[in-house]
Amino acid sequence: MADDHEDIGKTITGTADPAALQLFDDNLVTNLKGVRVFDIGQGDCIGLRNQDDEVFCYVDYGGLDDHPDKTNPAATAHRMPVRLGGKYVSIVITHWDKDHYWSANKKNPDAQNCEWLVPRQTVSPQAVLLARKLKNAKCWPESRGDRPASFGVGADHDIVIRKCRPHDASAIKEDRNLSGLAVSLQQWNDTNVEMAMLLPGDCPFDRIPHPPMAPLRAVVAYHHGSHTHWTNATTTAVGNRHPTYDMVYSFGKNNHGHPDRSNYEPDWNSNSVETPDVRANGDQSTDMSW
């Protein structure tokens, strides 16, 4: 029914001009070391790591089924801290599916004090309830269309954010996988982008506008490795990969078929995050560095 879902723009009324965004404190971040994919059960939580191996920005802050901190929420706050140098870090939400934001609701409510950048989408009542708790949240402006926004980190790295497709305000149940934000990281040499990392959320590669063209150093598997989002364009994209390429699957016990490994070539340097058979000491987070 129409009243079961709501345009998140009615709750988060502020928009963010990407040119004015301050996603990180330059005094705390001088270099982009890579990413950390956290063990949060079914879902995504990816930390961007600075020169000191500290997380200064999260891409998603989720976790749902099979969460390793199910009986100890304080462990999430310890493993996935939301403050750095006495300041709150930023959180970029790729899309409003519960497994991409739920840890901020139940596992570490302190994350609600962070600066949030979110896509405008038709969302569930649970997402609306969380959005009302956020102290500093802004929607990506739909007026920007598919133009990406780039944020420099030191002299050699960029964070690039793009909206995958426009929000459909008429949709009762919008396909949030396809209208969210995708994030990529780029490392430069003197004149060109040398390699990239891609954090696509649940969006398949062929639906991401202006995807990184440099060889992919690492990818967090599209939609947790779902077969529905392995397209011909995906095959082409991952074929353009760096010799030390990593593919990380982020998932927990689920009924969604995540991941379908048949699409992933066995010779790839692939890591599994959050699988019960490899989880050790409640955490199987994985770092990917340049």
181 has a pLDDT exceeding 90: yes
pLDDT at 276: 40
- pLDDT over 90 percentage in the chain: 56
**In the structure encoding, which two tokens stand for residue 278, read together?**
């490899």
Q: Say which residue, 245 or 58, is predicted with more confidence.
A: 58
Find the mean pLDDT for residues 83-103.
Answer: 96
Q: Are 199 and 92 in contact (CB under 8 A)?
A: no
Work out the pLDDT band at 265, boundaries 50, 70, 90: low
Domain ranges of the chain: 2-280
The number of angstroms, rounded, from the C-alpha of 112 to the middle of its chain's C-alpha atoms is 17
Question: Residues with Cβ < 8 Å from 175, sequence gap 6 or more?
Answer: none
This model's pTM is above 0.85 = yes
Taking 70 as the threshold, does the pLDDT of residue 81 lie above it? yes
Give the single-character DSSP code of 107: I
Q: What is the pLDDT of residue 65?
A: 85
N-to-C CA span, the chain = 47
- Tell me the pLDDT band of 191, cut-offs 50, 70 and 90: confident
Judge whether residue 274 has pLDDT over 50.
Answer: no
Mean per-residue pLDDT of the chain: 87
227 or 6, greater pLDDT = 6
Using the predicted structure, report yes or no on whether residue 279 has a pLDDT greater than 70.
Answer: no
Structure tokens at 172: 């009762």
| 57-71, 97-111, 206-220, 245-259: which is most confident | 97-111
Question: Which fold is adopted by the domain 2-280?
Answer: Metallo-beta-lactamase; Chain A (3.60.15)
pLDDT tens readout for residues 204-229: 988 999 888 899 999 898 898 888 77
Q: Which residue has the higher pLDDT, 6 or 2?
A: 6
Tell me the C-alpha distance between 279 and 271, whole Å. Answer: 12
Residues 6+ apart with CB under 8 A from 75: 68, 69, 282
User: Tell me, what DSSP letter sits at residue 229?
Assistant: G
Asked if pLDDT for residue 166 goes beyond 70, the answer is: yes
| 102-130 pLDDT, tens digit each | 999 989 999 999 999 999 999 999 999 99
Q: Is the pLDDT of residue 200 over 90?
A: yes
β-bridge mates for residue 199, sequence order: 183
Q: What is the pLDDT of residues 10-30, one digit of tens each?
A: 999 888 888 777 788 888 999
